[in-house]
Structure 1
């Protein structure tokens, strides 16, 4: 089962997807490419959703869905991709489609003092940095533990691109 998490500036909403998804494979891919770009894909200046889509496709074994805009392909010397592949808000809409998943709820650390125990390895996080209802960023949960760069932080560890960083949520 794929669990998609959507933080609205640290608020999370859950989407459970029914498609076959290899969450451990997605985590392995995310760990392998968290601090680098896979040369088999285009690289964007805002690369977060491209990175998450790659993890879902390459490691998570989800097939391209060209009809619904979730694909990335090289044609001769240029790249074609759909907005669901490369734009966080469009990926969120794609995954929350009733045929691919169901929104289950939200989590907001400002309203809850404990950790989010529902997060699992391979879950996808969406962030609304501007609090405008549009998701601006995507990341993938890779573990629960101590942040290697900030040992005082323990929590759900995520990998992401744009500013390549591995840290606790």
Structure 2
């Protein structure tokens, strides 16, 4: 079972700094999200194969641990452990769920967000790379935002 509260607590604890137990990346958004998912009880699988599974171990990691597009693909295809179900609307999401951003609308995911608060039905998110705390989920204030942006909404679970 996915512990949403623990994932959000982790996200709020580390939103503006880096947990020294993990590597730090220039583009750190998915590494940070993966740490949040791990804190929420998601089990790592697939080591040492970097192209399969979701894991970090001994100074190396899977692509899905650190790359937005790979994490989205992993969540969509995983049948056990950490899984994600893509839904049509942000209104279907809860605390601890994820939003993936495709800034250019070209099908390649560029950024990953975790929902850390919901105020009057509106989700707010945390993220790394440009560290963000309880930011409006649409990201319209981002310098990377374009009118072509596409959002991918994922409900997270552990099976």
Q: What is residue 71 of structure 2 aligned with on the other side?
A: 91
Structure 2 residue 46 is the aligned partner of structure 1 residue 66: yes
Paired residue secondary structure (2:104): coil
Q: Does the Cα contact within 8 Å between 2:75 and 2:85 map onto a contact in 1?
A: no
Unaligned runs of 5+ in 1: 1-19, 108-115, 147-153
CA-based RMSD of the aligned residues comes to: 1.9
- Cα separation, partners in 2 of 1:102 and 1:25, compared to 1, 3 Å: closer
Paired residue secondary structure (1:31): helix
Question: Cα deviations across residues 2-55 of structure 1 (Å, max 9, x unaligned)?
Answer: xxxxxxxxxxxxxxxxxx211111001101001111110001111000000000
1: CA distance, partners of 2:106 / 2:65: 21
| 1:98, distance to aligned residue in structure 2 (A) | 5.2
Q: What is residue 122 of structure 2 aligned with on the other side?
A: 155
Q: Which has the larger radius of gyration?
A: 1
Q: Provide TM-score, normalisation by structure 2.
A: 0.75
Q: Does the Cα contact within 8 Å between 2:18 and 2:24 map onto a contact in 1?
A: yes
| 1:104, distance to aligned residue in structure 2 (A) | 4.5
Q: Does the Cα contact within 8 Å between 1:69 and 1:81 map onto a contact in 2?
A: no
Structure 2 residue 152 is the aligned partner of structure 1 residue 168: no
Unaligned runs of 5+ in 2: 138-159
Q: Does the Cα contact within 8 Å between 1:125 and 1:139 map onto a contact in 2?
A: yes
Moved over 2 A (4+): 66-69, 100-107
2: CA distance, partners of 1:164 / 1:128: 18
Match of 1:125 among 86, 91, 99: 99
